[in-house]
Homo-oligomer: A and B are copies of this chain.
Amino acid sequence: MPPEPNHHEDCCGEGVAPRVAEALARMKEKALRITSPRLTMLQILAESKIPLSAEQIHAQAGDGNLDLVTVYRSLGALDEAGIVQRHPLERGRSLYALVSQGHHHHHVICRRCGSIERLPGCDTSRLEAAARNKGYADLTHIMEIYGICPTCSAKTHD
């Protein structure tokens, strides 16, 4: 069974509406059009609070309301604009999450069940500074911590 991240534990503690509003504002800045499929996606991403796969977004929109291809294309556009962040994981899958400025953080992902929890803060500034020193510009990063969650540890002993 491929791990599917779908737990809804609280992960980030912010309102949904302001997160959507922030994303919309940044879309206008970047001259990205506000369309109904995109509004749906933003709403879903803002509600979820944890990274979601394109499939999950598509599913949560209710089948038939939103083409999977559109999800991918919009996520691509939003990713390029820095409005969502893509988290590539193993087996070619990716998760996507809204980027709330000033609330950057990372997650622990359970290797077995795929559950996700938020971790506070981010320690990459030193590494990013090093990269900048080497002349790299427009820096972003991905970072995921993997482990076995307490629930899974309890179930079976490896």
Contacts and interface: CB of A to CB of B under 8 A. Distances in A.
A4 interface: no
A135 B150 contact: yes
A29 interface: no
A137 B119 CA distance: 15
Contact of A124 (B128, B131, B143): B143
A149 B136 contact: yes
Contact of A119 (B131, B146, B153): B131
Nearest to A143: B143
A16 interface: no
A108 B136 contact: yes
Give the bracket for the number of chain A residues in contact with chain B. 35 or more
Would you list the 9 A-B pairs with minimal beta carbon distance, nearest first?
Answer: A135-B150, A136-B147, A92-B92, A123-B123, A143-B143, A108-B131, A139-B147, A88-B88, A141-B145
Interface of A: 86, 88-90, 92, 94, 106, 108, 110-111, 117, 119-124, 126-128, 130-132, 134-150, 153
B127 A147 contact: no
A139 B146 contact: yes
A75 to B, nearest CB: 12
14 contacts: A88-B89, A88-B90, A90-B94, A108-B131, A119-B130, A123-B124, A123-B126, A123-B127, A134-B150, A136-B149, A139-B146, A140-B146, A141-B144, A142-B143
